[in-house]
Amino acid sequence: MEGSVEELLVTDPNPEQPGQHRVNGICLANSSHPISASSVVLTTGTFLSGSLFIGQTTSPGGRIGDAPSSAGLSHTLRERLGLKVGRLRTGTPPRIVKDSVDLSLATLNPPDSSPTPFSFMNTHTRCRPEEQLPCYLTYTTPGVERVVRESLHLNCHIQQDAKGPRYCPSIESRVLRFPGRRHQVWLEPEGLTSDLLYPQGLSMTMPPDVQLRLIREIPPLHKAEIHMP
């Protein structure tokens, strides 16, 4: 059976000791019938009651292409069971239409001719060099910093109600932490058969029109089109 868990079914085994609960099962969003269980393993991942921020617009969501995760489960954990629920903040860049990018203005970074496997259990990879795709390196410009600074008031990402990443900060955070510097932007193919590029290094939560202005300040992207902000 597959479905989104909306609620944990719990009881208070001892009314004289509040705060101690026993799980009895779950309720699914797509079913009116509870499922009994003596124990439940929660694997909430990173999108439990997740929110998407694009400019000043907020909506429920998570990974691209997936339905929003359970808000009911988060409410049960926080309100009924009294568990502390934190919120982590991350960001992704806009996906760019590859055919709208002038890759001749970026530096070609070919794949490894003999890639080293991640796992020590493997002695070689199954992917031949000709089956790999290159990436391309470019850099931000002073125009990128100008657009960021002019648009900070439109950005929910700067709010400090969640902990942001330390090692892959958004372009807004980079501009604020390291003013006057240029930053690497890797143009990475989304997949072997995809016509989209992932501009690694340009994660942001600006409004869509500002995102377009920003990426077009980078030479290879001066005519770029955004497929998804």
For the domain spanning 95-228, the CATH number is 2.40.30.260
Q: What is the pTM of this model?
A: 0.78
Give the side-chain half-sphere CA count within 13 A for 107.
7
pLDDT tens-digit profile, the chain (229 residues): 777 888 888 887 666 766 677 888 998 887 778 899 989 998 877 778 887 778 778 777 777 777 777 778 888 888 888 888 877 777 789 999 999 999 999 999 998 887 888 888 988 877 777 788 999 999 999 999 999 999 988 877 655 455 555 667 889 989 999 999 999 999 999 998 999 999 999 998 899 999 999 999 999 999 999 998 8
pLDDT digits 0-9 by tens, 37-89:
989 998 877 778 887 778 778 777 777 777 777 778 888 888 888 888 877 77
Sign of CA dihedral 61, 64, 67, 73: negative
Q: Among all chains, which residue has been given the structure tokens 């988060």? A: 74
Domain spans, the chain: 5-80, 95-228
What single-letter amino acid sits at 59? S
Q: How far is CA 22 from CA 19, 36, 115, 119, 196, in A?
A: 10, 12, 50, 40, 48
Q: Are 60 and 68 in contact (CB under 8 A)?
A: yes
